[in-house]
A and B are shown apart, each in its own frame.
Chain A
Amino acid sequence: QQPVQSPQAVILREGEDAVINCSSSKALYSVHWYRQKHGEAPVFLMILLKGGEQKGHEKISASFNEKKQQSSLYLTASQLSYSGTYFCGTRGIPNFVFGPGTRLSVLP
């Protein structure tokens, strides 16, 4: 089953912070985060595992609460290059599904 993401869209000014949330009704063993820029392929950002918090990319970090079946992506001091659509992804058995995406627009 597809995870749920919120918000659907965010508009920021350069330097502002944002949080993107991902949740699932099924048990999560890991959460992946990807970013896709318009017209391009999704790019892997980081993986969150059970019991772990990981900083993986620029000033972007994430947390994972397996009990609540939720993950959050934190973007601090956003840059213009952060603009794009962010997807969380989870491994099903045996497939891999993505949330609907959160569109982030960073304005100068």
Chain B
Amino acid sequence: NAGVMQNPRHLVRRRGQEARLRCSPMKGHSHVYWYRQLPEEGLKFMVYLQKENIIDESGMPKERFSAEFPKEGPSILRIQQVVRGDSAAYFCASSPTGTNQNSPLHFGNGTRLTVT
């Protein structure tokens, strides 16, 4: 099955540590979106990437957060010096094209980050 793969499923970090979340898009998909979801809340857009390019990072906090999608390998969402407020579920989604209105997003199962 070539679905969107995220790992790890669960990640526990202490305050001040770094968190690295990985997302491998579906086969043939070159567009990746990252979303943050707090418990009982909606999907907040963070960043949209194509291979080797950040297209829109308007939803990313200015500090401590970064994302990449290299030519080879998964997309990485990196959170430095985590704080308790970073605890959330982080979902990535992929699509074959970015602007085609007919392309649905396919979601991974998410990474649940807990900061202690």
Cβ A44 vs Cβ B105 within 8 A = yes
- Taking the complex as formed, is B55 at the interface, i.e. its CB lies under 8 A from any CB of chain A? yes
Cβ A95 vs Cβ B56 within 8 A = yes
- Taking the complex as formed, is B69 at the interface, i.e. its CB lies under 8 A from any CB of chain A? no
- Taking the complex as formed, is B1 at the interface, i.e. its CB lies under 8 A from any CB of chain A? no
Cβ A95 vs Cβ B33 within 8 A = yes
Over the window 70-108 of chain B, the binary record of Cβ atoms lying under 8 Å from chain A Cβ atoms (1 yes, 0 no) is: 000000000000000000000101000011011011111
Q: Whose C-beta in chain A lies nearest to the C-beta of B56?
A: A95
Identify which of A47, A91, A100 gathers the most chain B CB atoms within 10 Å of its CB: A91
A56 to B23, CA, bound (A): 28
Cβ B91 vs Cβ A42 within 8 A = yes
- Chain B nearest Cβ from A20, distance in angstroms: 14
Q: Whose C-beta in chain B lies nearest to the C-beta of A33?
A: B104
Identify which of A49, A98, A100 gathers the most chain B CB atoms within 10 Å of its CB: A98
Using C-beta atoms within 8 Å of the partner chain, give the interface range for chain B. Answer: 20 to 34
- Chain B nearest Cβ from A50, distance in angstroms: 8
- Taking the complex as formed, is B28 at the interface, i.e. its CB lies under 8 A from any CB of chain A? no
- Chain B nearest Cβ from A85, distance in angstroms: 8
From known contacts A95-B59, A96-B48, A98-B45, infer whether A43 and B102 are also in contact, taking CB-CB under 8 Å.
no
- Chain B nearest Cβ from A102, distance in angstroms: 10
Cβ B42 vs Cβ A100 within 8 A = yes
From known contacts A40-B109, A95-B48, A95-B58, infer whether A87 and B101 are also in contact, taking CB-CB under 8 Å.
no
Cβ A41 vs Cβ B91 within 8 A = yes
- Where the two chains meet, the residues of B that have a C-beta atom closer than 8 Å to any C-beta of A are 33, 35, 41-43, 45, 48, 55-56, 58-59, 91, 93, 98-99, 101-102, 104-110
Would you list the 10 A-B pairs with minimal beta carbon distance, nearest first? Answer: A30-B101, A41-B107, A44-B104, A100-B42, A98-B43, A95-B56, A101-B42, A95-B48, A41-B109, A42-B107
18 A–B contacts, CB within 8 A, in A order: A30-B101, A32-B105, A41-B91, A41-B108, A41-B109, A42-B91, A42-B93, A42-B107, A44-B105, A47-B101, A47-B104, A87-B42, A93-B99, A94-B48, A94-B98, A95-B45, A96-B45, A97-B45
